[in-house]
Structure 1
Amino acid sequence: MLLEFRIKNYKSFVDETVFSMVPAPKQTGLDYSILSEKVGSRKHKALCSAVIYGPNASGKTNIIGAMETLRAIILRGNIRNSDSDISPNVASSSLELIPNCDSEGSPAEFSISFIEKGLLFQYSLILDLGRFLDRDYERKILEEKLVVNDKEVFSRGTHLEVYLPQVIRHLTSRSIKRITPKTKEIAESSLSDTELFLTNGFKNIFAKELTDVMINWFAEKFMVIYHSDAIKVMRKFAEPKEKAIHVEATLTEAAREFGITSNALGYRTDGESDEAVLCSILSNNKAVIPADIFESYGTIRFINEFPLIIKTLINGGTLVMDEFDASIHPMALMNIISIFHNDEINMNHAQFIFNTHNPIFLDGSLFRRDEIKFVERDQETKHSTHYALSDFSTAEGVRKGEDYMNNYFVSRYGAIKEIDFSPILKKIISQSREN
């Protein structure tokens, strides 16, 4: 369960930015949106959903990109560039794209707080990546810190300190009873300027089981989708049969609700490749057609996104998607949101975060004020800022029953830009007549 994500000097976000999934104080109503998990004797609360608004190029996608970048760094265990990363978020594999153009070499900072397996993890990184586009810069991890259940586990800066508090003892190496000068010396010798201590020395020497809990959360439960239109769900079969059709009953049933035109959906194998092709199956004339040819673009988007919704709900994960709602009917969108708000379905405390331009979610009966987020970019500095609707006072149009949509479009909350292409088009048309 994600509680908080922080960044500093990541692309358009120069100042420290906090994306919080912790309910704002004094916010009431829509209690079904509040998740609660116990850590020790203390209960922690989190929002089950959040929607991010802002004009084009404001920085909405940069927040999601920053989440994916931290995830990628942790999963590969270093801050070197990766040539194998196929994500459309190039900054997650080419880290010279992270620093802001005007940052003059200031460090980039990441921090994340989440709950997993009854433990509260707080992990942070401060990275010296040089200037924007400086690929050859000798990068260095300036600081790295892990806190579990408010107890410091290790901190890495000018010196390395490892503590191994009692709260994590059941997940640490049985051979390490206490930190001795010898074990500390071994740990310090494992340090590399570009490698995370978390996934290298700490994991190998002190706490493989604890590290695995964290890594599994990032790999399986923190699903960050940058550019959701690039999603393409692939199925693989251990022993693919030639011209075999594997009907997906659950996906077909959901797609029928969505409005598919075929009788069923399935995967076709050719007996040579272990990857299968998603197809539309027409039983009346026994035709099998690649789905991306036969179905609409909106249907294909839904087919590729729906399995992620299922996985998130089953695993109790956090799904973060860029432009999730593009080309999907509002009724389908509303239903998916309501599922995450349904305690009888969302029993595993799944979370759903997405950005959008669609104003239908600016509804006080659907989202709490602290679930409605905004991103705005200063026209002079080009720096982005992030805030929530709950940050506004009641005098600024956030009373219960207020028309949030109307207030947004009259720029009561900012994060909106007036657009007028008329002068450009008039000029072009005028020039065309002169020619």
Structure 2
Amino acid sequence: MLLRFALENHRSVLERVELSMVAVDRDRPAAREVPNRSERVLTTAVLFGPNASGKTNVLRGLAWLTAAVGESLQFWGRFWGDGVPREPCRYGDGPTRPSTFEVELLVGGIHTAYRLVVDDRRVQEEVLATYPLGRRRILFERTGDELRVRRGLGELAAGVRPLLRPTNLVLSAVLQLPETAPEVANVARALQGFWARVPRRVLVPAGFPPEGIVVPDPLWAPTAQLFDPQVSRDAELRRAVIEFLQAADLGVVDAKVVEHAPPRHDLRWWQTRHPVLVHRVEGREVELDFPEESAGTQMWFSLLGPVLQALRSGSVFLIDELDASLHPALSARLIQLFQDPETNPNNAQLLCTAHDPSLLQVLNRDEVWFTERTPQGTTSLVALSDYGGDQVRRSTNLERAYLRGRFGAQPLVDDVQLEEAVAQVTRAGCAPVLTGPG
């Protein structure tokens, strides 16, 4: 389980921000009791804020870290040579300042802390520590080219050093040598196992051949693969997806995968196949290709596979704009699936961004976070639970208070400027000439 995540100098985040999953209000089922911990841990955190305030960038920072653990050894050196594909803040001294990522996790019930500092050229610092009895125990510490490991982990050092380069992580190297240090490899696998539905910039170095760029799988691919017998034999998960489609009152009763081109070794799975959803109307079944479905149906179908996988495995799931194209009742139900111990017995965690204030009705104050854009154009992050007792109590109607601007994190729309801009166009006497794609 994720306990805390801190980020500094990534995209719009310049100064350090920290998101905590430690419960403030402990006496409720959504605040999970975990072994050997006095504090309780949350399974849900939702970030609200106006457009361009940076809420997505907070999740992007965590997604970047988890991807780095899985990719730095195999891809960074091959595609980036002597560089690190970080995304520093473009404001202030961001381009010249290192970027810092910190996570605290429970891995196998043990409190674990990982810290990574990078600049454009190399990994500056990487530290992994555990707190098995409440006291800090460093497993490895890397500063520049120097790697120090805890006594008893000599095999780890011997195995990792030949793989280590200035631009790849120790945790990435350990994934290639899981038997030499299981305690360290478990942390790497835990971070690599995060699910992320967060926009990811495709960083392409200068001179990189276009044919070498790997296009990400479409959002529907993880769910659709469950219905392809050549890819998945997980009948239990497939049935669960169908039940969720039926329960959402979308008119969908089944799904399948159809080939639209002969499979080839040089094409991705989704380039030769696509999902088809089956509807039952007046006693007969009608098949609709996925693009024919509504945006809400497409979103619900795309989310179900990863959501159910996360709930089953107890992993962390990051979703940007959970409420995009979904009815508020469906968005709220997804949140409640992670809050309820009956549907989430393995302590999976959902971290997401949203705009719909009605979701505040199903959230406790310690599950809500706000982002705002500072005068310098950077991102600030504050927990709703940090507000004083007079401003927010457990009995407060959070939706009403938020809409009234009590917590900030609202867009300051300049109505006069908007109206003047429209007036300028309408006074011109003719419609602007706009050309669409293609």
- TM-score, reference length from structure 1: 0.79
1:415 pairs with one of 409, 412, 420: 409
1:277 equivalent to 2:250? Answer no
The whole-number CA distance in structure 2 between the counterparts of 1:140 and 1:202 is 20
Tell me if structure 2 keeps the 8 A contact 1:191–1:201.
no
Q: CA-to-partner distance for each residue in 1:331-387, whole Å, 9 max, x for gaps?
A: 222222222221222111111111111001223xx2221111000011x31011001
The equivalent of 1:160 in structure 2 is 147
Which is worse superposed, 283-292 or 141-150?
283-292
Query: Offset of 1:259 from its aligned partner?
Result: 1.9
Change (3 A) 1:434 1:249: closer
2:188 pairs with one of 215, 220, 226: 215
RMSD: 3.3
Secondary structure at the counterpart of residue 34 of structure 2? strand
Change (3 A) 1:145 1:239: closer
- TM alignment of 1:333-348, pairs within 5 A: 333-348=331-346
The equivalent of 2:54 in structure 1 is 59
Query: Offset of 1:427 from its aligned partner?
Result: 2.4
Tell me if structure 1 keeps the 8 A contact 2:22–2:41.
yes
Q: What amino acid does structure 2 have at the position aligned with 1:385? A: S
1:249 equivalent to 2:239? Answer yes
Q: CA-to-partner distance for each residue in 1:272-310, whole Å, 9 max, x for gaps?
A: 4365421123565565432332x2110111011011111
2:396 pairs with one of 395, 399, 402: 402
1:70 equivalent to 2:58? Answer no
The equivalent of 1:3 in structure 2 is 3
Q: What amino acid does structure 1 have at the position aligned with 2:46? A: V
Q: CA-to-partner distance for each residue in 1:32-53, whole Å, 9 max, x for gaps?
A: 1212222xx4445211101111
- Identity over the aligned pairs, expressed in percent? 22
The equivalent of 1:110 in structure 2 is 101
The whole-number CA distance in structure 2 between the counterparts of 1:114 and 1:417 is 34
Q: What amino acid does structure 1 have at the position aligned with 2:306? A: L
Tell me if structure 2 keeps the 8 A contact 1:268–1:277.
yes
Which is worse superposed, 410-419 or 296-305?
410-419
Q: What amino acid does structure 2 have at the position aligned with 1:289? A: L
The equivalent of 1:313 in structure 2 is 311
1:376 equivalent to 2:372? Answer yes
1:140 equivalent to 2:122? Answer yes
Change (3 A) 1:201 1:71: closer
- TM alignment of 1:59-98, pairs within 5 A: 59-78=54-73, 81=76, 95-98=85-88
Query: Offset of 1:187 from its aligned partner?
Result: 6.2
Tell me if structure 2 keeps the 8 A contact 1:258–1:299.
no
The whole-number CA distance in structure 2 between the counterparts of 1:82 and 1:193 is 9
Q: CA-to-partner distance for each residue in 1:89-142, whole Å, 9 max, x for gaps?
A: xxxx9825334332250100011111122222211111122xxxxxxxxx1111
Secondary structure at the counterpart of residue 90 of structure 2? coil
Secondary structure at the counterpart of residue 429 of structure 2? helix
The equivalent of 1:243 in structure 2 is none
The equivalent of 1:196 in structure 2 is 169
The whole-number CA distance in structure 2 between the counterparts of 1:310 and 1:252 is 12
Change (3 A) 1:74 1:407: same
Secondary structure at the counterpart of residue 120 of structure 1? strand
Q: CA-to-partner distance for each residue in 1:63-88, whole Å, 9 max, x for gaps?
A: 11111111111111359758989xxx
Unaligned regions of 5+ residues in structure 2, if any?
Answer: 201-216, 232-236, 264-268, 433-438
The whole-number CA distance in structure 2 between the counterparts of 1:282 and 1:411 is 43
Which is worse superposed, 56-65 or 303-312?
303-312
- TM alignment of 1:164-175, pairs within 5 A: 164=151
Tell me if structure 2 keeps the 8 A contact 1:65–1:226.
yes
Count of residues in Structure 1 that have an aligned counterpart in Structure 2: 388
The equivalent of 2:212 in structure 1 is none
The whole-number CA distance in structure 2 between the counterparts of 1:303 and 1:147 is 39
Tell me if structure 2 keeps the 8 A contact 1:11–1:99.
yes
The equivalent of 1:391 in structure 2 is 386
The equivalent of 2:425 in structure 1 is 428
The whole-number CA distance in structure 2 between the counterparts of 1:425 and 1:291 is 37
1:304 pairs with one of 292, 302, 305: 302
Tell me if structure 1 keeps the 8 A contact 2:115–2:126.
yes
The equivalent of 2:363 in structure 1 is 367
Query: Offset of 1:316 from its aligned partner?
Result: 0.8
Tell me if structure 2 keeps the 8 A contact 1:312–1:318.
yes
The equivalent of 2:214 in structure 1 is none
Tell me if structure 2 keeps the 8 A contact 1:251–1:265.
no
The whole-number CA distance in structure 2 between the counterparts of 1:268 and 1:142 is 48
1:151 equivalent to 2:124? Answer no
